Homo-oligomer: A and B are copies of this chain.
Amino acid sequence: LAVPLDNTSFLVTGGSGFLGQYCLRHLAKQFPVVHAVSRNRDGKAADGVIWHRADLRVFGAAEALIARLRPSHLLHLAWVATPDTYRNSPENIDWLEASLALIRAFGQHGGRRFVGIGSSAEYGLTDSPCIEDVTPIRPVTIYGKCKAALFSASDAYAKRFGFSAAWGRVFLLFGPGDPPQRLFPSLVAALSARRPIMVTDGRQIRDLIYAADAADLLLRLLANADAEGAYNVATGRGIAVRDAIEWVADELDARQLLQVGAMPRRTDEPLSLVADMSKVARVLDWRAPTSLKSGLQEVLASLGHGNASPMREGGRDSCVS
């Protein structure tokens, strides 16, 4: 990453989360000192990562942390992330408020570059590819509404305090270390135990991005202070969820255990949710390097099935302990 090192220090919030671990590992490979904050537990020890324990939702906690560390670069990943229920959890509101306090403190203490994490849930229920500055922002979930609010607010704070800000709208993340309740880990767990598993009809088209690739794009964004505003964090390739599910089932020789269509599809998401990646390609010269199949192969390998692709970093050692 092309970040000048003088007076540069990094703070990552949500560093013990799924995406946070990838970001931290990538950052710590390149910079001597990276600070990370987590509310739950100490994050995984990694060379060069200094952990701080704080619940940013507690009044004054963000201000105290920022005043002490005075980071020049802030990657703000922390948020409620409980699978499924996060969508309309009241905790989204707490995280919106906590985030504003964090970003204000960052601006007041000389912060220079902020990257926040949004979501494809900020877009409206459109089936067309989502274009950052064109597709209407019409979220239906509390999560999407709070993320959309934070995007606009962080932009305002940036202009107010004179730092530069960007926003990564993450689509459907997957990869080794994915929480066990989420689609692929729960699928692999059921099928490898030879239990039948109910899934939707899988007709929904999604843009699945490998977590290590998402981290790579986010860090590129963090390093590129000229890139402001919203950027999709995705591949630009839509695939039918059913195809991915069946591919995994076939790898486990368990397609007959899939009860396709036994679960209803979500009604608060469009049939197709795919990113347009031309802004990312144009501004950051970036394309997601990992194909869906090699990503899924890594997921299977991390869960004890098959071998990780030898060409790729990650794999087994990426698994959350």
Chain A residues at the B interface, C-beta cutoff of 8 Å: 88, 90, 92-93, 96-97, 100, 104, 124, 133-134, 136-139, 141-142, 145-146, 148-153, 155-157, 159-160
Provide a sorted-by-A list of 20 A–B residue pairs whose CB atoms are within 8 angstroms: A88-B159, A92-B160, A93-B104, A96-B156, A134-B136, A136-B136, A136-B137, A137-B137, A142-B156, A142-B160, A145-B152, A145-B155, A145-B156, A146-B153, A149-B151, A149-B152, A149-B153, A149-B155, A149-B156, A153-B153
A93-B157 in contact (CB<8A): yes
* Cβ-closest 3 pairs across A and B: A145-B156, A149-B152, A149-B153
Nearest-neighbor residue (CB-CB) of A131 within chain B? B136
CA distance A97 to B92 in the complex (A): 16
CA distance A155 to B137 in the complex (A): 12
CA distance A1 to B88 in the complex (A): 33
A interface SS class? helix
CA distance A139 to B92 in the complex (A): 24
Nearest-neighbor residue (CB-CB) of A93 within chain B? B160
CA distance A152 to B124 in the complex (A): 13
- Chain B residues with Cβ below 8 Å from A136 are 133-134, 136-137
Nearest-neighbor residue (CB-CB) of A147 within chain B? B152
Nearest-neighbor residue (CB-CB) of A159 within chain B? B142
Known: A100-B97, A104-B93. A146 touches B139 (CB 8 A): no
- Chain B residues with Cβ below 8 Å from A159 are 88, 141-142, 145
Instruction: Kindly provide the distance from the CB of A280 to the nearest chain B CB, expressed in whole angstroms.
Output: 18
CA distance A100 to B95 in the complex (A): 13
CA distance A139 to B229 in the complex (A): 11
B133-A152 in contact (CB<8A): no
Other 9 A-B pairs with CB < 8 A, given A90-B160, A97-B100, A149-B151: A92-B156, A92-B160, A93-B157, A133-B136, A137-B152, A141-B159, A142-B156, A145-B153, A149-B156
